[in-house]
Amino acid sequence: MTTHSLRWPGGPLAGTGLLPASKSEANRALLLQCLAGGGTLTNLSEANDTVLMARLLANAPTTDHLDAEDAGTVMRFMTAYLAATGWRGTLTGAARMKQRPIGTLVDALRTLGASIEYAEQEGYPPLRFGGQPLAAPAGQPAELAVRGDISSQYISALLMIGPMLPGGLRLRLTGEVGSRPYIKMTLKLMRHFGATATEVGRDVIEVAPGGYRPADYRVESDWSAASYWYALLALAPAGSSLLLPGLREKSWQGDHVIQIIMRPLGVETEFLADGSGASLTQVPPVPAPAGAPTTDFTDCPDLAQTVAVVTAALGRRRRFTGLHSLRIKETDRIAAIQNELRKFGADMPEVEPGLFEVQPGTFHVDGQTVETYDDHRMAMAFAPLAIRGPLLVHEPQVVRKSYPSFWRALTAVGLVVE
């Protein structure tokens, strides 16, 4: 077991937070580039998930066995892509991936004529593809109804293969739809690559047939990764500031709402006039309101860990809703957050069904060890606490999934990482 020791030498925080590119944008763009048959992608993410996605897409034509490892986006997107391209073989994943459900997506693809079987447990990877092309009817859109409250990645995966169907696709979303900004990101990227995709009302999306055309695209820096720098600045000594390159004011990423969430906690965002990034400065935090304000993370679940930690460290109570998808991530993130917050004197109990409350208690940082649960976001959400006191992080290499340079980026602004 490896461990990083983190500490802040003192004084204000200043410098540049070097961000990775968005893996959410990159993985969608890679798949669309393949379906379009060309186009140049720049500023691709260094994240393992993106490197893996590119490798699997490149290898699919010449192999009958692909491994999505622990990458949920890769597993879901590749499942739809392989079905649409009539691939024959087995798509597997890491042990945790074999515990993450995929039945909703497989059922939808079977409706479109895909030949997919479960190689082990019903409803879960590995998946065995029979090489049968999709048999959706020509002349009219294929009709699908898909639950929106499990994973938006299922919806994005189906949308992206929609233009390849003879009659296109008419997708109806049922139930509460989570992570809706990720669906909108998918639609914008599809249109960038020449597809026609129209939102008919709030929960019906129509995708016209006709495929894609090659297009160039530059991937934006990752707003999910930016959230950890917002956390650092919120906890840093007075007089601190940061520059975050590559962020757009008009972003397609749902996690850009971190700038709104963090403003009452003392972090102001100003976008540079030349469009090259954002400048973060400290401002007086808004006085803590009576009671506990509620934040809905349905559209930005990847921010929940970061905000929970910062809120507790600042001694504030906050209620969280929209966390249902966190149970089926790299780990059960709700249980993981609760376990680790308790080490610092805080907690996040479920006070009502689906409603969690951060309770700061007697929050303190004095050398505790953070477990990461094979989850990159656990490591990065708790790391900013080092600005308040010494901290240990077990299995720090988990950050390779989305932000391989995370620890180097922290040392570049003065954090001591040993």
242-284: pLDDT as tens digits: 999 999 999 999 999 999 999 999 999 999 999 999 999 999 9
How far apart CA 173 and CA 350 sit, in angstroms, is 28
Angstrom distances, CA of residue 149 to CA of 39, 168, 185, 208, 289: 33, 24, 17, 25, 31
3-19+221-417 folds as UDP-n-acetylglucosamine1-carboxyvinyl-transferase; Chain (3.65.10)
Half-sphere exposure of 52 (CA within 13 A, CB side): 20
Angstrom distances, CA of residue 167 to CA of 104, 111, 122, 162: 22, 14, 30, 9
How far apart CA 280 and CA 257 sit, in angstroms, is 14
193-206: pLDDT as tens digits: 999 999 998 899 99
Mean per-residue pLDDT, 41-64? 95
How far apart CA 298 and CA 117 sit, in angstroms, is 31
Catalytic residue among 70, 222, 255, 302: 302
Q: Which residue carries 């969608």 as its tokens? A: 28
User: What are the phi and psi torsion angles at 218 (to 5°)?
Assistant: -105, 125
**328 has a pLDDT exceeding 70:** no
Q: Which residue carries 């129209």 as its tokens? A: 198
How far apart CA 372 and CA 166 sit, in angstroms, is 45
User: What are the phi and psi torsion angles at 278 (to 5°)?
Assistant: -130, 145
334-382: pLDDT as tens digits: 999 999 999 999 999 999 999 999 999 999 999 999 999 999 999 999 9
14-38: pLDDT as tens digits: 999 999 999 999 999 999 999 999 9
Looking at residue 227, what is its pLDDT?
Answer: 98
Q: What rounded mean pLDDT belongs to the chain?
A: 95
Identity at 102, one-letter amino acid code: I
Name the residue among 152, 145, 98, 153 with its Cα closest to residue 122: 98
Asked if residues 110 and 102 have their Cβ atoms less than 8 Å apart, the reply is no
Q: Model pTM?
A: 0.90
What are the residue ranges of CATH 3.65.10.10 in the chain?
3-19+221-417, 23-218
Looking at residue 201, what is its pLDDT?
Answer: 84
What CATH code is assigned to 23-218?
3.65.10.10
Identity of the highest mean pLDDT range in 141-155, 173-187, 301-315, 319-333: 301-315
Name the residue among 319, 310, 314, 309 with its Cα closest to residue 340: 309
Q: What percent of the chain has pLDDT over 90?
A: 88
Q: Which residues, 6 or more positions from 417, have their beta carbon under 8 angstroms from its beta carbon?
A: 4, 5, 6, 407, 410, 411
Name the residue among 188, 209, 214, 213 with its Cα closest to residue 199: 188
Name the residue among 121, 352, 387, 85 with its Cα closest to residue 235: 387
Question: Is-catalytic flag, 49?
Answer: no
